Amino acid sequence: MSETDNHASRYAVGIDLGTTHCVLSYVELDSEQDPAPHHVLPIAQLTSPGSVDEKPQLPSFIYQAHEAELAEGDVALPWNTYPDTIVGTMARELGSKTPIRLVSSAKSWLCHGGVDRHASFLPLNSPEEVAKVSPIEATFQYLLHLRNAWDHRFPDAALVDQDVTITVPASFDPAARDLTAEAAQRIGFKHLTLLEEPQAAVYSWLESCADSWRNQVSIGDVILVVDIGGGTTDLSLVAVTEDEGNLNLNRVAVGEHILLGGDNMDLALAYQVNAKLAQEGKTLAPWQIVAITHSCRDAKEVLLTDPDVHSVPIVVPSRGSKMLGSTLRTELTKDEVMNSLVDGFFPHVGIHDHPAQQARGALKQMGLPYAQDPAILRHLAAFLCRQQAAANELLGQNEGEFIKPTAILFNGGVLKAPMLAERVMTVINNWLNEAGAEQAKQLAGTDLDLAVAKGAAYYGSVRQGKGVRIRGGIASAYYVGIESAMPAIPGMAPPIQALCVAPFGMEEGSAAKGPNQEFGLIVGEPVRFRFFGSTTRRDDQAGTLLDYWEPGELEELPEIQANLPVEGRQPGEVVPVELASRVTEVGTLCLEAIPSDGGTKWQVELDVRAG
């Protein structure tokens, strides 16, 4: 770290940079209380034109206002009278009526390899005159707002000086992590770490149990973390092992990136209500569907929580000042919610019931790759089967067809509904029953909405040596594709080999370099490589060359690019290089091209700009 450091951080700060909203939690590092009390930063933000309020959540939205839209002073914030960007509640509210100016889901775009993530294209498909931002710029703006809100509250302890942990989905690919870190580094954080969200949830659980966690799990346990947020579903497995008499936690596997969450459920209900109204001969305008979606979210929570409520009225007021006679009214019943949510998203499925494989290559069309199968439990079944051998190394050979979790930790607002949580438990326990295994127990004690931010803040103090640390390293092995030199056969793609450049489980701050495997790179010309990741090949070392792999074993990621500058060489010259990898302290993967003749090394870009 730099010499200005002196480790002046007073707080460990956790930032949950969510798809739909951000939360900032913090603990004092040298607190005299043990455990140090947690705080959630009240984030000052515009709630309506000219009105500023503090809320624990910052909705992850940006509104690109038209210059005639808002009066002077309507966007003033406590720290800036004329901010350039409108972020938060007011952005979401204005955007619900003018969607062409609303930037949303930037986080999902950040992990979408089919687009140039540095390009300014959000809001998507909006008219030309609307100013556009890139997913990374939007992420930067959310962080900037948090920084300003923090600095306004703590003028003596700037956020950039604190020990900051930002959470990312466990399923984020290296490029998406890199881009998140890039946005954060533009803010100027001096002590930054990235942490996987399901791990943050586990840290939050560890903290809430204090020392009693050792009584709740024992050696050989496999904890399954199911994190269903607003926009994504994130899965992880943590194995419990022993080392010199101490219990250790090891994150052994993470799931695929599944764009499926609570928002999909609210939309599903809204369309169901819409269909019901259509049967009554009432057609709804788009704004009414938005309003119904909001009402459905609230109604869903009541219906899934309170067993005595059998229906909740849904009302949509007119837009004009006349309300009577023009207010739409209908009902959402418990049966409807059970049918479309519980059975639609959480159906009773078998362990071999997996979602249909999505056809790749459909990324040319601009749009987010939402999960096609809404049944979250099918995705879960696929994950457990796929990771059948995840804990073999630590816990011994698993003879079954799927890895059997012994404890379940839930996270994310969706699972606050007891009926959904119960359904997930029931289905998992059915799988375990059929396989002759013991029932899994549910680990309780975390706040499903705030666990990620809190766990991230707690992680800051764990890194200072207080409390148990989850081991993990990178959750994938990474490969560079090498096209074999063989004569072209019409109608057949040239066979490709995969060279492992980063082995599974590489820890922060470590590096890997395989045996001599040289590439010829052309100076002054960008060279692209195909790039693959595997969450199941755990034993490949750096330098392993694969000729063959099982279908689905390697997942193709966006291409990577090496761009050798001309400096000191002839343009067009071919330079032999070797590829090496390291995992930075921040937690991002870094690939480097090292010339065999010992010259300066170059960074290989994980996020390739379009062109």
What's the sign of the alpha-carbon dihedral 611, 480, 17, 261? positive
Residue the block writes with tokens 């309780």: 444
Using CB under 8 A as the binding rule, whether residue 50 contacts another protein is answered as: yes
Stretch that binds another protein, among 232-240, 327-335, 377-385, 485-493 (CB under 8 A): 327-335
Is residue 152 a contact point for another protein (CB under 8 A)?
Answer: no
Q: Does 56 bind another protein (CB under 8 A)?
A: no
51 binds another protein (CB under 8 A): yes
Q: Is 52 in the site for another protein (CB under 8 A)?
A: yes
Instruction: For the beta carbon of residue 576, count every other beta carbon within 10 angstroms.
Output: 12
**DSSP states of 243-258:** ETTEEEEEEEEE---B
Q: Between residues 317 and 400, which has the closer beta carbon with respect to another protein? A: 317
Grouping H, G, I as helix, E, B as strand and the rest as coil, residue 521 is strand
Beta bridge partners of 60: none
Pick one of 37, 78, 494, 576: the residue that binds another protein (CB under 8 A).
78
Q: How far is the CB of 285 from another protein (least distance, A)?
A: 10
Burial code (b: 16+ CB inside 10 Å, e: under 16) for 398-408 equals beeebbbbbbb
Residue 305 in contact with another protein, rule: CB under 8 A: no
Looking at the Cβ atoms of 54 and 438, the one nearer to another protein is: 54
Closest-CA residue to 408 (of 258, 216, 215): 216
What tokens appear for 124 in the block? 């998507």
Give the interface segment with another protein, choosing from 46-54, 183-191, 507-515, 572-580 (CB under 8 A).
46-54
Which is nearer to another protein, 82 or 548 (by Cβ)? 82
Q: How far is the CB of 313 from another protein (least distance, A)?
A: 6
Do 52 and 44 contact (CB within 8 A), yes or no? yes
Q: What number of chain residues touch another protein (CB under 8 A)?
A: 28
The SS3 assignment for 481 reads strand
What lies within 8 Å, CB to CB, of 32 at 6+ separation is: none
Question: CA nearest 196: which of 462, 465, 456?
Answer: 456
User: Which of 297, 371, 310, 372 lies closest to 338, judged by CA?
Assistant: 310
Quote the CA–CA distance of 208 and 444 in Å, as a whole number: 9
Select 329 or 601, whichever has its Cβ closest to another protein.
329
Kindly tell me which of 110 and 273 has the beta carbon lying closer to another protein: 273
Binders of another protein among 265-294, rule CB under 8 A? none
Starting at the edge strand found earlier in the chain, the sheet holding 62-63 runs 86-87, 62-63, 102-103
Closer Cβ to another protein, 210 or 323, answer by number: 323
Residue 67 or 597: the one with the smaller Cβ distance to another protein is 67
CB-wise, 246 or 321, nearer to another protein?
A: 321
CA–CA gap between residue 599 and residue 603 (Å, rounded): 13
> Smallest gap, in angstroms, from Cβ of residue 70 to another protein?
10
Ranges within 493-552 binding another protein (CB under 8 A):
none
For another protein, give the closer residue by CB, 324 or 492.
324
C-beta of 52 vs 594, nearer to another protein: 52
Question: Taking a C-beta distance cutoff of 8 angstroms, is the pair 351, 384 a contact?
Answer: yes
Q: Strand pairing partners for 40?
A: 25
| Residue 491 tokens, joined | 């109608």
Which residue reads 């790759």 in tokens?
Answer: 369
Site for another protein in 9-28 (CB under 8 A): none
Altogether, the residues listed in the chain come to a count of: 611
Distance CA 52, CA 286 (A): 28
- What DSSP character marks residue 294? H
Residue type, 433: N
49 near another protein, judged by CB under 8 A? yes
Q: How far is the CB of 174 from another protein (least distance, A)?
A: 41
Q: Which of residues 307-326 bind another protein (CB under 8 A)?
A: 313, 315, 317, 319, 321-325
- 66-74, 464-472, 488-496, 580-588 -> range binding another protein (CB under 8 A): 66-74
Listed ranges 50-58, 179-187, 530-538, 580-588: which one lies at the site for another protein (CB under 8 A): 50-58
Check binding of 327 to another protein (CB under 8 A): yes
Q: How far is the CB of 342 from another protein (least distance, A)?
A: 25
Of the pair 50, 524, the CB lying nearest another protein is at 50
C-alpha distances (whole Å) from 586 to each of 106, 165, 453, 583 are: 21, 9, 17, 8
- Residue 331 as a binder of another protein (CB under 8 A): the answer is no
Least spacing, CB of residue 129 vs another protein, in Å: 13
Residues that bind another protein (CB under 8 A): 47-54, 71-76, 78, 97, 313, 315, 317, 319, 321-325, 327-329
